[in-house]
Structure 1
Amino acid sequence: MTSHTPRVFSGVQPTGNLHLGNYLGAIRQFVALQHQHECLYCVVDLHAITVWQDPKELKDAIRSVAAAFMACGLDPEKNILFNQSQVPAHAELAWIFNCVARLGWLNRMTQFKEKAGKNRENASVGLYAYPNLMAADILAYRATHVPVGEDQKQHLELSRDIAAKFNNDWNVPDFFPLPEPLILGEAARVMSLRDGSKKMSKSDPSDYSRINLTDDADTIAQKFRKARTDPAPLPETLDELKERPEAANLVGIYAALAGTSRADVLREFAGKGFAEFKPKLAEVAVDHLAPIAAEARRLAADPAEIDAVLARGADRADAIAQPILDEVYDVIGFVRSRRS
């Protein structure tokens, strides 16, 4: 049985500002993973164009995500940080997987149904086949582990199905690993500041629904001050908190940023009103996020350096992916001249 080198892959779309949910739910864990594994972190710009993007805004967003990653502590020398479109193997392997995956598999993808909505017939083929490209992103590097939230688990299962079917169809057992999920921790789900039943999102029309990683101290404080809550004071127990989604969200954010538990937060603030709790939450958030925002703005002011970081990362990524793609083409039976 083939033993694959442990390798972590994750991608983030360059659409809108990265926010507190992205940070607590993913990026902070990425920073921890870089000390334990070989990691590739990709700005997935090919995925972004499954819906229309303004070209200038897309370029700015790609650089903004890269700057935010580095500002949060991702070391581009220790990790491979790059944007997807600079490594041809992603698109090339995605076509192979378009021919491996079955229509029935894609028809079961709940995210396509949610994103396409009532305009399913007007959705792009790219949006429909998005999971095949995601599988290519992972398997182009024979990644063994993928950090995922709950909403991406179905896509990772499809990646495993595609890998298994490729291995079986061409009788190459263990050619691709079956990537395992790295389920992120308790703080992975940060909800909207305007509606505790919805995830914090870049696409929400209200900027007051989220804390952006580029927000300054005054903006952070103002957004928490205006965050939706109920009139009751904070409860004593986690069971009581379950019935109050907005309160639970703010307590969870406080706990994650302060490096403590939600139970400990309730022990400190039980019986106190939000007029007292919110300023303390804003203080913790500003202490944690203001240095990140300042560093992100500093990095973003030098787009040429960000482009150089992404180019170096793309070269390193390509050096891993291209030999794997060459093996894929040999297995399939394509005739092609070797590249020097």
Structure 2
Amino acid sequence: MFKKIFSGVQPTGNLHLGNYLGAIKNFVELQNDKGNECIFCVVDLHAITVKQDPKELKKNIRETTATFIACGIDPTQSIIFNQSMVPAHSEAAWILSCVSRIGWLNRMTQFKEKAGKDKEKASIGLYSYPVLMAADILLYDATHVPVGDDQKQHLELCRDIAQKFNNDFNVKDFLKVPEPMIQKKFSRIMSLKDGIKKMSKSDPSDLSRVNLTDNKEEILNKIKKAKTDPLPLPEELKNLTERPEAENLLGIYSSLKSQDLENSINEFSGKNFSEFKKRLSEALIDKIEPISKEIKKLLGDEKYLDSILLDGSNKADKIASKKIKEMKELVGF
């Protein structure tokens, strides 16, 4: 079955193992399935929902592009572009904002988490960004969108917006209602210092994450210092209860090896963490070190990265500008 897949990554810099295993590794697998047409967006409009340093943002857009390519996304097979270069995204977001309802946005839990206690000081962009996300997807008639737990609610909103637009303007199936793609054989990647906190670039400790630009020595050091507990590795899945650090490290290993958690537990049952950490480090170095070297090499050629984004944006614009023209006609513009 043919799938048209759209997904985006924010150019916040310093992409890490959680970004790779949670999204980018899956993007590469989807691209390599010949039945798929893939569009991957560096969502720089989303990035400015919180204050950014303009120079850092430009650098991070290139770094995210370099990371896509280094991980195996092929710009001759897939479209890679940055959102701000395709005006239709902003135009469609406004039209869809006028279809969306405040009650829908008020239910979005991610805004509540990101805005914190003083939501009156949050930007309107942070509040309404799920509508822009819907525009990103709907402009390309995407049939499927890879999503993690934190984006499921936003995709549901996207589906609601598409259906309401179609109903309001009496155009059945004009905006395609996308299906979620939930990654199989994937464990949520948590901090190396605290197994109940998500791995994050905003964590002040660099030892809490494996960055995709880390070298062999840095990876070895981080896994060596990763938090564990005094017990040996479990013999059964149920024995991981209330052992978040053990579960996280076994989950990372399982995701790298594309195997079930139960298989990893059987592989290391009863062994101590020092032996397991050695094998985990080997698996990480095998996967991350080539990516790290390629990212650094690509970042040395800014003209090449800019040409990839320009070419991809031109391809994306051809698709999106046709859709936004039809949307405007339906609205009455």
Category of TM-score, reference length = shorter chain: over 0.9
Contact kept in structure 2, 1:91 and 1:133, CA below 8 Å? yes
The whole-number CA distance in structure 1 between the counterparts of 2:144 and 2:43 is 17
Q: Shift in Å at residue 263 of structure 1?
A: 2.2
Question: Secondary structure at the residue paired with 1:186?
Answer: coil
Which residue number in structure 2 is paired with residue 31 of structure 1? 28
Which residue number in structure 1 is paired with residue 106 of structure 2? 107
Q: Shift in Å at residue 124 of structure 1?
A: 0.2
The whole-number CA distance in structure 2 between the counterparts of 1:183 and 1:275 is 33
The whole-number CA distance in structure 2 between the counterparts of 1:147 and 1:242 is 28
Encode CA deviations 1:168-212: one digit per residue, 9 max, x unaligned: 111111110111100112325111111111211122222111101
1:82 is the counterpart of 2:81: yes
Count of residues in correspondence between the two structures: 331
Which residue number in structure 1 is paired with residue 225 of structure 2? 226
Contact kept in structure 1, 2:81 and 2:310, CA below 8 Å? yes
Which residue number in structure 2 is paired with residue 298 of structure 1? 297
Q: Shift in Å at residue 267 of structure 1?
A: 2.2
Q: Which residue among 9, 33, 40 is the counterpart of 1:12?
A: 9
Q: How is 1:1-340 mapped onto 2 (pairs within 5 angstroms)?
A: 6-36=3-33, 37-334=36-333
Question: Secondary structure at the residue paired with 1:34?
Answer: helix
Encode CA deviations 1:137-176: one digit per residue, 9 max, x unaligned: 0011111110000110000000001000100111111110
Q: Shift in Å at residue 241 of structure 1?
A: 1.6
Q: Tell me the TM-score normalised to structure 1 length.
A: 0.95
Encode CA deviations 1:218-243: one digit per residue, 9 max, x unaligned: 00111111111111110111110233
Question: Secondary structure at the residue paired with 1:252?
Answer: helix
Q: Shift in Å at residue 272 of structure 1?
A: 1.8
The whole-number CA distance in structure 2 between the counterparts of 1:186 and 1:323 is 38
The whole-number CA distance in structure 2 between the counterparts of 1:164 and 1:323 is 20
Structure 1, 161-170 or 188-197: larger mean CA deviation: 188-197
Whichever residue aligns with residue 281 of structure 2, its letter is A
The whole-number CA distance in structure 2 between the counterparts of 1:245 and 1:212 is 21
The whole-number CA distance in structure 1 between the counterparts of 2:224 and 2:3 is 44
Encode CA deviations 1:11-34: one digit per residue, 9 max, x unaligned: 000113111111111111100111
Question: Secondary structure at the residue paired with 2:145?
Answer: strand
The whole-number CA distance in structure 1 between the counterparts of 2:3 and 2:321 is 18
- Which structure 2 segments of 5+ residues have no match? none
Question: Secondary structure at the residue paired with 1:253?
Answer: helix
Structure 1, 201-210 or 304-313: larger mean CA deviation: 201-210
Encode CA deviations 1:56-94: one digit per residue, 9 max, x unaligned: 100111111110110010001100000100000100100
Whichever residue aligns with residue 276 of structure 1, its letter is E
Question: Secondary structure at the residue paired with 1:187?
Answer: coil
Q: What is the RMSD of the two structures over their aligned residues, measured on CA atoms?
A: 1.3
Contact kept in structure 2, 1:16 and 1:203, CA below 8 Å? no
